[in-house]
Amino acid sequence: MTNLSVNINKVATLRNARGENVPDVVKFACDCERLGSDGITVHPRPDERHIKRSDVFQLRPIIKTEFNIEGYPSDEFMDLVLKAKPEQVTLVPDAPDALTSSAGWDVESNMEFLSNVVDRLREAGIRTSIFVGTDADNIRAAARAGADRVELYTKPYADEYPRCPEDAVAPFVEASRVAHQSGLGVNAGHDLNLENLRYFHESLPYLNEVSIGHAIICDALYLGIEETIRRYKECLGRTK
């Protein structure tokens, strides 16, 4: 079974545009869970342009499914997640001013750094996922670093999908096999949507979780969040 984690960053972006608490990020997260989301993802950035540190601590006690916090493991980020203790932390190599994640880690080149981060998270009882591309050696390096999972960066798949779905998904099929053989769980995220998610899910032999935010919020503007979550779960072969 592949879980759907809803990234609520864009809801916080909308809220912050007016400086008040509309829409209510905490209520939206609760509603997503009630409507079938298997988890909630946030990606707090240093400038707090969407999710704020205070949001993380307000969300932590009310999320009943899985709380996934993404981010670059700076000292500030590590302090945040070690205090909040989510079920999962996804490590991304974003620069502080990055608009969005645009590449995975070169794990081998950052082995000592990532291994130390993973060790600290494991000691706190937090599952770790390292954001990577599809290179097999890099995925094996993530396993050596001690990660529990990798999250596959799926923008290349989304970009290529309209031209040739088979070619687009092939590297990800192999990447999921390599991860599984290396003892890693497999997550995926970035530009997955209602057009390309079903094929991706049906093609990958191993896929624990997808994390989707931007597309879900865009679809919800037209469909409503309840129907949107239902359709995304349907793409994952889920009816509940």
- What is the rounded distance in angstroms from the CA atom of residue 88 to the CA atom of residue 69? 6
- Residue tagged active-site, from 33, 50, 151, 190: 190
Assess whether pLDDT exceeds 80 at residue 239: no
Average the pLDDT over 70-99 and give the result.
90
Residue 92 pLDDT grade (very low, low, confident, very high; cuts 50, 70, 90)? very high
- Residue tagged active-site, from 43, 50, 66, 151: 43
Assess whether pLDDT exceeds 90 at residue 135: yes
Average the pLDDT over 118-130 and give the result.
98
Residue 238 pLDDT grade (very low, low, confident, very high; cuts 50, 70, 90)? confident
**Comparing 91-95, 124-128, 147-151, which segment has the lowest mean pLDDT?**
91-95
Assess whether pLDDT exceeds 90 at residue 107: yes
Q: Note whether 91 and 131 are within 8 A (CB).
A: yes
- CA 137 vs. chain centroid, Å, equals 22
Q: Rounded to two decimals, what is the model's pTM?
A: 0.95
Rounded percentage of the chain residues whose pLDDT exceeds 70? 96
Phi, psi (rounded to 5 degrees) for 69 = -110, 125
Is 190 annotated in the active site? yes
| Tokens of residue 126, six digits | 């937090």
Assess whether pLDDT exceeds 80 at residue 69: yes
Is 112 annotated in the active site? no
- CA 86 vs. chain centroid, Å, equals 13
Average the pLDDT over 120-132 and give the result.
98
- What is the rounded distance in angstroms from the CA atom of residue 151 to the CA atom of residue 132? 6
- Residue tagged active-site, from 33, 50, 66, 70: 70
pLDDT tens, residue by residue, 157-203: 999 999 999 999 999 999 999 999 999 999 999 999 999 999 999 99
Q: Note whether 157 and 169 are within 8 A (CB).
A: yes
Assess whether pLDDT exceeds 60 at residue 121: yes
Q: Helix/strand/coil (H, E, C) string of the chain?
A: CCEEEEECHHHHHHHHCCCCCCCCHHHHHHHHHHCCCCEEEECCCCCCCCCCHHHHHHHCCCCCCCEEEEECCCHHHHHHHHHHCCCEEEECCCCCCCCCCCCCCCCHHHHHHHHHHHHHHHHCCCEEEEEECCCHHHHHHHHHCCCCEEEEECHHHHHHCCCCHHHHHHHHHHHHHHHHHCCCEEEEECCCCCCCHHHHHHHCCCCCEEEECHHHHHHHHHHCHHHHHHHHHHHCCCCC
Is 201 annotated in the active site? no
Give the per-residue pLDDT at 220. 98
Residue 97 pLDDT grade (very low, low, confident, very high; cuts 50, 70, 90)? low
Residue 94 pLDDT grade (very low, low, confident, very high; cuts 50, 70, 90)? confident
**Phi-psi sector, 143: left (phi>0), alpha (psi -120 to 50), beta:** alpha
pLDDT tens, residue by residue, 191-237: 999 999 999 999 999 999 999 999 999 999 999 999 999 999 999 99
Q: What is the mean pLDDT of the chain?
A: 96
- What is the rounded distance in angstroms from the CA atom of residue 41 to the CA atom of residue 69? 6
Give the per-residue pLDDT at 98. 55
- What is the rounded distance in angstroms from the CA atom of residue 147 to the CA atom of residue 119? 9
- CA 238 vs. chain centroid, Å, equals 19
